[in-house]
A and B are shown apart, each in its own frame.
Chain A
Amino acid sequence: MKTLSRVTLYTLMTIMSFVFLFPLVFMVISSLKPDAQLLHDTTSLRAFIPTGSISFKNYSGVFTRIPFFTFLFNSLLVSLITVVLGLFVNSSIAFAIARMKWKGKNFVMAIILATLILPFEVIAIPLLYICAKIPSISFTGGFHLTHGIFNSYQIQILPFIANAISIFLFVQFFKTLPKDLDEAARVDGASWFLIYRKIAMPLAGPAIGTVAILTFLPMWNSYLWPVMTIQDERYRPIMIGLQYFYTNFQTSWGQIMAYLSLLTIPVVILFLSMQRFFVTSIATSGVKG
């Protein structure tokens, strides 16, 4: 009886694994096929089998067609800086909200939650108008003051550092820490800053993991905002690279599949290498109310 139910469970879990993996298998297998065969194979289950003329030509095509490593570097840089800055900025406001009493706190929290409502696509254009007005100094063609901070890393980072979901998760987490912890410390004369740095943050490992991955993924996948603000190839992130394979209504599907694999695989590897940490950290953070 026990083994029977165990067999059922494993069967079920394996079937589910197929469900979650088959599109990705299709992607990787397709990246090895020439365009015409790739498209023809999509009409049958051959799409999942590496048959026909298999090669890495699409990958070499990708590397000659676009500056892949520049894009990869840009995306990693932008995503990681945003993650790190976001961890500081969002945890500190969350700490203030969860642990301190101050005037305007509830109002601030209400505003933060309200910012969750509109998805980025909706505010992208107004944000563009605003960013066009940010003064900045340009050193190209002489020293002068200009408007707009386009074509830079900072335009890709600044708007996404403070994030309502991150704040929300940190608040939830900090609320679960026992109150006595900082009250005792306060009585001992410790400053709030010390409590944040020495007590709250060291305990916040799981929340940090969650927020890190939740910040990293959308940054890695960001597309619309860079299209609007980055005109210089040197600063373009990796998702924009995808557009290079559609030219004059002629789409290089093999190279697209290779590129999709290339932009998915690093994230999966990153996740796998930190798998234990992420799965447990997301699992134990915040959501206990």
Chain B
Amino acid sequence: MKSSRLFSPGGAVNALMRRIPSSAFILIIALSVSRISAEEVKVLKPVTPVPAAALSEVFFKTVPDSLEDLQAIEKQVTSLTELSIHSTVSVRVGDAQGSGVIIDNKAGYILTAAHVIGLAQKNATIILHDGRTLKGRTMGLNRGMDAGLVKLVEDSEIDISKLSQVKMGDISKLEPGEWVLATGHPNGYQAGREPVVRLGRVVSRKKHLIQTDCTLIGGDSGGPLFNMKGEVIGIHSRIGPATSWNFHIPVSAFQDDWDKLVSGDMWGAKPLGQNAVLGVNGIDSDEGCKVTGVTRGFPAEIAGLKANDLIIQLNEEKITGIEQLAEVVQQYKPGQTVQLKLIRDKKTILVEVQLAARD
């Protein structure tokens, strides 16, 4: 009964709709988090250098200002759409339905969003751009970042190595204003409709999140964001109210933790749930709560908290110890942002943390 609902249009849409709140919800976490931790720079895994394609001048302008500029954009965009569409897939895992992109047709790897696949080692159904269906298996996922990996299962009829694939790009120099292309399955896979193309620009670039004005909606989650070389630079994750509030996790979330994702590791805190969690271990001290450790992938770690930080205040509330801190956190809901006052190296600092959900 459940599966039939999923495959009927109504059921599919419902499944999608359920994705939306988590989307917008997660959004808040990563937004404020990325602000505070923007100074931390992780070394990116090396990517295959792309030959310096002769991109038109317009792509380096603040705004196009002539018909020629617009024609140049159009020429570039229309040259990219076919491969972008052909590498985009629909990803279904249980009740959830989203999108994904094939980045390796030898191993059958598909990038998607963690909230689309939910768990590692689950069966997935992959629908190609032309409606052909393949089986897949979910691999690792970073729930905090919302990065998920799926692997295609060998098929007797479809030669996976013949499928269209795209490369992951180097996003170390990605800046606001860059033109980008989004594909995916808004409102879920619809027979007879290929992946839907949207053009936009990078609105802002944070460590953990790329914002664009490529409009997204439920069902797009996990779909690819392309640069003007046709490389994947982001994966659709969540949206906010305005049409320019569309958020994509940077592809570095996959590049940085590639081996862990391939090994099927699952880490990070879910953004949605009943009880809020910060992800710190600590001990009572005279002045507050002394941090002894932070949980991998949880809000405190993402926000940059470290062992030996002394938490003395959460919003307006004075913190006196670990248990009292836990109680104070429980007054909030997952997704809310709280401000922590810390003492680190004898300096008082303020850190904003977006709370996540306890499992």
Question: Do A and B make up one complex?
Answer: no
